[in-house]
Structure 1
Amino acid sequence: MNNNAKFSLLIALVSIVSHTSNLTAQQLSQEGQNRKAIHDFLFDSFLQGRQTVYTGTGRDRGLKELTVLAQTHEIGDGDEILLPEGAERIAELFRHFAFHGADLHRVAEVRIFPFSPDKAPPRSKQVEDFYRVQMPSIALSDGPIGRMKMRFLMKEKGDVCRVDDLVFIAQKAIPPEFDTIPYRDLGSEFPRERVEIHIDTDHELSIGGTSKLLRDRWFRMHETPGTVDKSFENWAAERGFLTGRGAFKFHPGLTAGWGGNAKLKEREDKPGAADLTLFDNFDAGTRLREAIPLFQEKPFACCFNDWPEFMSVPLVGRGTPRPEHFDDAAELAAAYVAEQIKDAGYSAKWWEVKNESSVQSEWAHHWQEGKGIDGWGLLADFHNRVADAVHRRAPDTEVGGPSSAYMQVQVKDFALYRNQARFIEETRGHIDFFSHHFYENALMLGAHERRGMGYSNYLLGRYEAILDMLRAHMHKVDNVLPILITECGSLQNGRKPSDNWLRMYAWNAYLNKSMQRPDQIELFVPFIFLHMSWNPNSGDAAFKPKSDRERHKTIEDFDRTTVSHYLDLWSDFDGNRLPVAFDRDWLDIVAVHDGKRISLAVTNMGGRQLALDLSGVAKRVGATSAIQTRLNYHKGEVVFEADRTVDAAAVPVDVNETTVIRLIMDTPLVPSDTLELDRWYASETAIKSDGKPVSFDVKVDAPETVKRARLVVGVHRGGGVTEPLVVNLNGTTLNVDTGDASEFSEFFAPLDADIDASLVQANNKIDVIAQSGTTITSVQIVTHGKTDPK
């Protein structure tokens, strides 16, 4: 080896040692140390001799299922099964538990001791030989919590069933090697990287016909009016938050006779249909009338679910109506909405037809698709019938869906996307909006660091790419409707710092990305509640019951939780939009002004801590100070800091952090003009590339008014994008920066290129040459056009 080679090797070794030392210096938080002990106990001790199921290969291999107990029990009403010692320690690592056996359809509910002794956690699947339930929220405790046991309550007192085993099921397969990422201050081993932010203070930015932020659209909770005491509603209203979305279950909501009402029954003369004479003496407005006046005035969403058993597919699908009773189910929905309007004076503005009906567990007919049953066709038909029935009884009410879960549309070579596209086509002229849910699992923490390790969540470009696909297809089939994001958040069920951080990180990032699309998204509702009476220890609640009292009604009977600071972060973020520009991947910024101050919402999805330089903007507008509100993860804790003075030339933003920054001005800001942002889509989506040119046509109205333009190409490829993306617009080759797309194990995100405004024509031909194996998911031109002066 020559001296040059030796020197090169030495430099490489020094670099490796330095990086390793930096990682070592990032010590695990106390929570991380505790969880590592639980992880080691699971793999080194508890699972020994027990049946396991692993999924994935290589670095993606992990524990998916663990048979905790393999012993047959005959179970009657009130009987209990004691779990092996140690199960209570590892339970927090799993999302569900399940039983195999016989006659399990006779089980009404299962209580989990010591975690949920008084409330049954949500059931996700129940058939004769299988019963699966969500793992309950586990209360925080510094001491021993006692052995786990299950208490079974049967539908009928004399019923019995057989339980053959108990299985813990992970949401995401648990790797044998402990994952340290959630328990470190990510990026702290490197210097902060400077990013200069440019704000056009001469123009406001209009999207969807207005430059207003439309605060009421974005700052919502997963609540409906009157569900909680007025003291909670007033607390939320003081922070500028409104009710957003809830669910109404016909069973047991009408069938149980709650609130002194009669029970909904099946018609004797028409089996499978509901006896709607119930509504002759029924009060559907009790809760709505109890809401504070503001919440009665503001529109909100609600979702139908769990139709009565007498009209539904038995056991599976959470009350999925049978096709022969679609009209009966639709008339029941319409009658309920009409009754609520009559009794309360109002109802939800937006009604979703069936919760998460894109998945089998919520729409039973998807189970039969292998037998030739058209599950998605039936789903569209049912939505159309419910929409038509509700519109007849309540013309101002909007109806839509499919309230989708599992939006991994790329699965099975985009088969899931084709189902969504078909739903858009087949509901045309009937429904009023489309709605979807997006959730993150634990691997979202440190997403950028995981980009080459099987990362599969939505917040590194996948969310935007999916929305663009759906919107492009709406334009293609002339069914352009608003999108409602009626749930989003985290699939974690814990309440420890990393669990809380994942929730707020997801809520904030989805919010910031959604606020950039007011031309597409009409309502955004994160999965945060004020409090949850049915799951009081939930990590998704802003308040938890105080332990020193038995009665919990008003806000004084509850303590704030860490996640309540989500509302504090956004309490007064509002104003008119301003155009903002920066040269940084995986960074989202929304800028607004209210005359006296410029406010920026910033989300850092990249892998380095940043120092934002706003000094140029501050100098130009004569800002007297820069103020920052932070909600981030630091040294193992979620930290909220309100209104701290910062240097406008170096505003800190950590990895995964969303922060609000304000420039305070003495002289009012009065932009003189407005720029209009428009998105112009090609009609074709999900086009597979074989390495040859693929052509797309994009029409742009009034191209002579365009001042700035950008080409956006949605791209999916397993193994990442390792070759250049060659794009030609109207005969001119564009430089598309693929950034770090080559470093992803699966890349699914938009790539873009700036366009000289003079190149944009009324009819634009775009040729794309992509690496073989790439799917071009959508193509669009985004323009900023000059509008008439104010």
Structure 2
Amino acid sequence: MKIHKLIGSTLLIVLTTTFIWGQSQVTVDFSASKSYGNISSLDRAKFFNMHATANSFNQEELSYLQKLDVGFGRSFGAPTVGNKSIQGLMSKEQHMKNIQKSRSNYLKYKHSPINLSRDLIYTSHPTSEHGNYGFEWKGLNADYTKEVDYVVTEFKELYGKKEDGEVPLPKFYEPLNEPFVHTTDIKGAKAEDVRLEMSRFHKALAIGLHKEVPELKIGGFSSAWPSVELWDFRHWEERMKLFMDVAGAEMDFLSYHIYDGKNVTGGDSFRTGSNAEAIMDLVDAYGAIKWGQPKPIVFSEHGMTRPDWQGTPYSELRDWKNIRSYNHQIMQFMDRPDQILKVVSFITGKAEWFKTPGNDPYPWVILRKVNGKYEWTHLIKLYEFWKDVKGNYTDIQSSDPDVLTHAFVDNNKAYIVLSNLELHESKVDLNFKNLPNVKSLKIRRLFLANGKPNLETESISTDTKELALRKDEAVILEYTFKKKLKQNKHLTLTNYYASEYLKPIEDKKPIAFEMNKVKPNVERASLKLGIARPLDKSLQANLTFNGQKIDFPIDWKGYDQADRIKTGFFGVIEVNIPSEMIKENNFIKLTFNENGGRVSSVKLSVLNN
């Protein structure tokens, strides 16, 4: 529960008392399946992946990961064009010999785990600090013909099905990993010039690969630091927007990294919740304005990262902080299955390359060495928690934006997933519509206790209608019905973006937006407002929708962002709109009482029956 700069301490006390101790209502209609665009069922391959290849594990370890249906997400195995081959020191003939040697080695071990990694993202380090690297600075308006030829040749000749066998082609290609944070590695060049050329480089590669290797999806720029609201959105203008303007039309997807992390006082800071929603909606809104619809998205890394973690002893509490972020963020990403192509949680294999004087493990490993043998860290619990969950998306809604929800129906099974973003325990009432006869009910809980992650599963009463969720806890209710469940109602979610974005907030000046060509037969609708405001300014606004006043919420996903001292609040506030108010063409007006900040995006999410 959040209350951001409301007037009057008495009102604050009353509202705090009312809402913190009130119960959330979660309503599930088991008879109503739901589609996001044309996606109607959970695609596990999109959401449950780790930042490693199958080659990182022995057969026993690999078998367990396969049992949990874990995917392998990303490899630094992309062609590295910033090396001697591009500097003219390797002939085309020598390049082909090297490719054939690599291909022969792959085929020699064709039954090895590499063949389990068909959906990998291939990337490379952007600059020369890593030896072979992905980008060579050649000045402004450089010609990248040689680089494109090198990359196209490698993907075309090394991979694919030929007379000697098949080497699986990776599905996704990010030419450079987090390149814009490495612009200062290039001495004697302006950072803005390097960003421009890196974007032009992506565009040139995409044009060449689309022509010669069309089945390979290329995207970028795998942004490490999407603090888009910084400097009154100059960060956005000079980074993601620049990339979209220069290279976006040729990209098969856009990619960026969502991480919780460290704030200026040394505590934990969170993108999870409204801030992540605002970043995603800003990118999508500009894509819709620019191309008529948002670009597909790849989250090639996500989770939690802190620079002060590296080189410290293994910590069970740290494992929990990682799990907490992975899980909450996956729940948010699952609300966009029609747009997201792949999600890779930043969970590595053994990271044997990571060396410290104290032999401390890399903070994100799923296996660490204990007395000379590898043991699973608690991070495996993320995948154990989600094991077996599958089925059709099913209609579910929560009265509290801090209780994230999903529901899935599969034959005679249903899975209800809840994740608590509140900073305290949350009580949840379960309201069911069209609940069939229940044979059994199990609950799976993932939570922090005694300083470490705990995963518990038990059978509970089939009449359970109330749950208490610990801070950051996630639960899965697994229902087994006596008969296969038939869903005779179908709902489809469609998002509509305003034709304008990033409008400045001025004192008592209405900010107008339009949302047009909305389909009829509306079941429910919500308006999602991306808002950036200084911390000392109120988030409350007067809102009218098609001329009718709508109450403005005092709550949103996640925490109040009071620790974002440098950037201020930046998040999405969701407003429920009565279905009878929705028209084909819709007009929104927002009025704030103080100057400062921007309305970054406006999205109308409509559930049609």
Give the alignment's TM-score, normalised by structure 1: 0.66
Residues matched between the structures, number:
565
**Contact 1:721 1:738 (8 Å CA) reproduced:** no
Structure 2 CA distance for partners of 1:351 and 1:620, relative to 1, 3 Å: same
CA distance in 2, matches of 1:743, 1:329: 43
Tell me what 2:472 maps to. Answer: 656
Match of 2:150 among 332, 336, 341: 332
In structure 2, relative to structure 1, the CA distance for the partners of 1:409 and 1:736 (3 Å cut) is same
SS at match of 1:685: coil
Three-state SS of the structure 2 residue aligned to 1:589 is strand
Check if 1:405 corresponds to 2:224.
yes
CA distance in 2: counterparts of 1:268 and 1:753, whole angstroms: 60
Is 1:695 aligned to 2:519, yes or no?
no
Q: 1:631 to 1:707 in 2, by over 3 A?
A: closer
Cα pair distance change 1:653/1:298, threshold 3 Å: farther
Matched, 1:486 2:300: yes
Deviations 1:329-381 (A, max 9, x none): 2322222222331474322111001000232358748x8436xx533321221
Deviation at 1:295, TM superposition (A): 5.0
Q: Which of residues 416, 431, 435 in structure 1 aligns to 2:255?
A: 435
Counterpart of 1:654, as a letter, is R
Extract unaligned runs of 5+ from structure 2: 1-9, 14-18, 356-360
Instruction: Decide whether aligned partners of structure 1 residues 233 and 363 sit closer, same or farther in structure 2, where only a CA change above 3 A counts.
Output: farther
Partner of 1:145: none
1:634 aligns with 2:427: no
Q: Which runs of 5+ in 1 are unaligned?
A: 1-10, 16-189, 256-262, 445-449, 549-556
Amino acid across the alignment from 1:490: M
Alignment of 1:508-519 (within 5 A): 508-519=327-338
Indicate whether 1:475 and 2:288 are aligned: yes
Aligned with 1:684: secondary structure?
A: coil
The alignment status of 1:222 with 2:51, answered yes or no, reads yes
The alpha-carbon distance between structure 1 residues 394 and 728, as it changes in their structure 2 partners (threshold 3 A), is same
Secondary structure of the structure 1 residue equivalent to 2:150: helix
* Letter in structure 2 aligned against 1:670: K
Q: Distance in 1 between matches of 2:587 and 2:424?
A: 38
What is aligned with 1:678? 494
- Note the 1:94-105 alignment, pairs <5 A: none
Task: Compute the RMSD of aligned alpha carbons.
Answer: 3.4
| C-alpha distance in 2 between matches for 1:587 and 1:720 | 27
Alignment of 1:695-714 (within 5 A): 695-702=512-519, 704-714=520-530
Structure 2 letter corresponding to 1:267: G
Answer whether contact 2:544 2:588 (CA < 8 A) is retained. yes
Question: How far is the alpha carbon of 1:501 from its aligned partner?
Answer: 0.8
Change in 2 beyond 3 A, CA 1:192/1:633? farther
Instruction: For 2:38 and 2:273, locate their aligned partners in 1 and report how far apart those are by CA, in whole Å.
Output: 28
| 1:396 has 2:226 as partner | no
Secondary structure in structure 1 of the residue aligned to 2:211: helix
> How far does residue 408 in structure 1 lie from its aligned partner after superposition?
0.9
Q: 2:395·2:407 contact (CA, 8 Å) conserved in 1? A: yes
Matched, 1:773 2:586: no
Higher mean C-alpha displacement, 288-297 vs 212-221: 288-297
* Larger RCO of the pair (alpha carbons < 8 Å, separation 6+): 2
CA 1:708 to 1:606, structure 2 compared with 1: closer, same or farther past 3 Å? Answer: same
Matched, 1:564 2:380: yes
For residues 574-600 of structure 1, the C-alpha deviation after alignment (integer angstroms, 9 at most, x for no partner) is 110111112113221111111322212
Shift of 1:606: 1.1
2:320–2:448 Cα contact (<8 Å) kept: yes
Aligned partners of 2:28 and 2:433 also within 8 Å: no
Letter in 1 for 2:296: P
Post-superposition offset of 1:399: 0.8
Q: State whether residues 358 and 403 of structure 1, in contact with CA within 8 Å, keep that contact through their aligned partners in structure 2.
A: no
Q: Distance in 1 between matches of 2:114 and 2:477?
A: 28
1:189-208 → structure 2 map (5 Å cutoff) = 194-208=23-37
Q: Any idea what SS the aligned residue of 1:584 has?
A: coil
Aligned to 1:237: 66
Are 1:267 and 2:88 counterparts?
Answer: yes
Aligned to 1:387, what secondary structure does the other structure show? helix
**Alpha-carbon spacing, 1:670–1:718, altered in 2? closer, same or farther (3 Å):** same
Query: Do the aligned residues in 2 keep the contact of 1:627 with 1:661 (CA within 8 Å)?
Result: yes
SS at match of 1:276: helix
**Large movers: runs of 4+ above 4 Å:** 190-193, 263-266, 287-295, 314-319, 453-456, 740-743
1:511 and 1:315, CA in 2 relative to 1: closer, same or farther beyond 3 A? closer
- Structure 1 counterpart of 2:190, from 369, 376, 386: 369
Q: Counterpart of 1:680 in 2: which secondary structure?
A: strand
Point out the more displaced range, 459-468 or 494-503: 494-503
**Residues 677 and 274 of structure 1, relative CA distance in 2, 3 Å threshold:** farther
* 8 Å CA contact retained: 2:446, 2:454: yes
SS in 2 for 1:423: helix
Q: 2: CA distance between counterparts of 1:296 and 1:316?
A: 28
Kept in 2: contact 1:267–1:274 (CA 8 A): no
1:760 partnered with 2:582 = yes
Q: CA deviation at 1:609?
A: 0.7
CA deviation profile, 1:78-108 (whole Å, cap 9, x unmatched): xxxxxxxxxxxxxxxxxxxxxxxxxxxxxxx
* 1:192–1:608 CA contact under 8 A, matched in 2: no
Structure 1 residue 530: Cα displacement: 3.2
Work out which of the two has the higher radius of gyration on C-alpha atoms and give 1 or 2. 1
State the Cα deviation string for residues 548-605 of structure 1 (Å, max 9, x = none).
4xxxxxxxx5222221111101111111011111211322111111132221222111
Native 8 Å contact 2:51 2:73 kept in 1 = yes
CA contact (8 A) 1:234 1:292 kept: no
Residue identity matched to 1:750: V
1:46-71 Cα shifts (integer Å, max 9, x gaps)? xxxxxxxxxxxxxxxxxxxxxxxxxx
Q: SS of the counterpart of 1:656? A: coil
Q: Distance in 1 between matches of 2:147 and 2:179?
A: 15
Fraction of identical pairs, as percent: 20
Is the alpha carbon distance of 1:266 and 1:632 closer, same or farther for their aligned partners in structure 2, counting shifts above 3 Å?
same
Question: 2:301 aligns to what SS in structure 1?
Answer: strand
What is the 5 A alignment of 1:31-110? none
2:363 counterpart of 1:539: yes
Question: Could you tell me how far 1:275 is from its partner in structure 2?
Answer: 5.7
Instruction: Tell me, in whole angstroms, the C-alpha distance in 1 between the residues paired with 2:517 and 2:29.
Output: 24
Q: Is the 8 A contact 1:613 1:650 kept in 2?
A: yes
Cα distance in 2 for partners of 1:767, 1:600 equals 36
